[in-house]
Structure 1
Amino acid sequence: MTEKFKAIADRFTTLPQVASAIRNEGLGKCGLIFGIDYTMSNKVQGEKTFFGESLHSITDDRKNPYQQVIEILGETIEYFDDDRIIPAFGFGDKTTRDQGIFELKKGGECVGFKEVLQTYNAITPNVKLHRPTNFAPLIYKAIQICQQTKKYHILVIVADGQVTSEEETQQAIVTASQYPLSIIVIGVGDGPWGIMNEFDDRLPARVFDNFQFVDFNEVMTTSKFPPANFALNCLMEIPDQYKAIKDLGYLDG
């Protein structure tokens, strides 16, 4: 298994290119799953990139990084979701800590990213941030959804990057490579992003390269067309990941 692993290169330069490649791979049915990091480190991760405020600060005069990400995904990536039903979860709060997740919308999924944003805005002021950070419960939930639906999914995790349960998260990413699941982690805030980049290009125990990391602030501050370039970076590896998933037979039957 280790010998077969090969990191997928970023080979597209425009959003239409990657969209065309996705269509060419025959990606007709895709589900989206969305996760939000509610750990305590969000309070200090905006020191350089968000005016020194908490990354979850909600005000009328500016959008926080999570709100920006949700809006842009709604304008771009939602196009690839055939039913617009988005299971959306939070993790790292005082209730779930690093052992579980909670539904953003109690009792059901969100319909489109517009409802994801509305729900986020409504619940976030009352969520108690906590610690530590562990992506594993969310990744295992995404695997469960793939098993139940027998359908390809993209899991989008928006986080400040400070993963503390590193071994558990690594194992979850490796396990996820046995299922029709792509994982995109969007890093918001100041970083550093060393662990995220390691997840992106290493972890050779995986069956295929199923993980893409995007530094939100870097993309948004260095591009002439930030939203389009951000979407491009998110989707960059999807065509090759989907091809690998088909070649592995994960979608057969």
Structure 2
Amino acid sequence: MSTADAISDDDEKGYETLEEVTKAIKKAGVNSCGLIFGIDYTISNKLQGQKTFDGHSLHDVSKDRINPYQEVICILGETLEPLDDDGSINAFGFGDRKSKDKKTFPFKPQGECDGFAEVLDVYNEITPKIRMGGPTNFAPLIKKAVDIVRKNQEYHILVIVADGQVTSEEETIQAIVDASNFPLSIIVIGVGDGPWNVMNDLDEKLPSRKFDNFKFVDFHEIKGSARNPQTAIAIEALSEIPEQYKAIRKLKLIENM
């Protein structure tokens, strides 16, 4: 049994309400953390809304409807913002025609976003101007998140909102494994039609890590089946944070930075 299995299986549990998972996060010792947000601008976003977004591009910014990326920003913003003591959020895009699968770009040229309200405002402003590209690789964003954790020497949660399969799978896997040496939780919210087999494999079949640092959430599956979709998505996204943070403390990943 790996170190991650030994820690995460010890007292793993399910949560039925957002209050339960929030209390568990506080009980685990997470009084504050840094937040990092990553948005997928690969060209497949134009086609991945055939079933789940009435055929529109997942990045369609319109006054008539809210797109899946905007939904996730709003849902997780309301849920996670109380954990962020300074209110500053690092937000990045990746997969556009300039960045491709090699780098990220900051939402703001200078500084961080002031809370999730500004993340949403900047997303709405810049998205119509972005030329989508690809291929899909989470590694540059995960490495950027690790750099931020190193600099701030504080526990962070990285939320990646993406529309489909990772094409640079080996590089992404290695970045996730390497990130388990740092106090960083990675949550991937999958929007669009899928399929999600690679994402599920990443969640369930990653090689040995210091701790289980990766969680995948199928946004539309939960949204389509839950009585209260927003609450259900938030619960699922945060459900592994308590055990991940306990593992981080047990492994002394913050103290050893």
User: TM-score normalized by structure 2?
Assistant: 0.95
1:249 and 2:248 are equivalent in the alignment = no
Select between 37-46 and 217-226 the one with higher mean Cα deviation: 217-226
* CA–CA separation in structure 2 for the residues paired with 1:10 and 1:89: 32
Q: Does 1:36 align with 2:39?
A: yes
User: Between the two proteins, what is the percent identity of the paired residues?
Assistant: 57
How big is each residue's C-alpha offset from its partner over 1:177-215, in whole Å with a ceiling of 9 and x where there is no partner? 000000000000001111111111221321110000011
Shift of 1:10: 5.6
Judge conservation of contact 1:78–1:113 (CA < 8 Å) in 2: yes
CA distance in 2, matches of 1:168, 1:250: 23
Which of 146, 153, 156 in structure 1 is aligned with 2:156?
153
Distance 2:42 2:34 in 1: 26
1:226 partnered with 2:220: no
CA distance in 2 between partners of 1:22 and 1:69 (Å): 20
Match of 2:55 in 1: 52
Q: TM-score, normalised by structure 1?
A: 0.97
Partner of 2:19: 16
Structure 2 counterpart of 1:4: 3
RMSD of Structure 2 on Structure 1 (CA): 1.2
Gapped runs of 5+ residues in structure 1? Answer: none
2:174 matched residue in structure 1: 171
What code does the residue aligned with 2:121 have? Q
What amino acid maps onto 1:64 in structure 2? N
Q: Does 1:213 align with 2:216?
A: yes
Q: How many correspondences in the alignment?
A: 252
* 1:102-113 → structure 2 map (5 Å cutoff): 102-113=105-116
For the Cα contact (< 8 Å) 1:86–1:110, is it kept in 2?
A: yes
Greater Cα offset, 146-155 or 219-228: 219-228
AA matched with 1:216: F
Structure 1 residue corresponding to 2:195, chosen from 192, 209, 222: 192
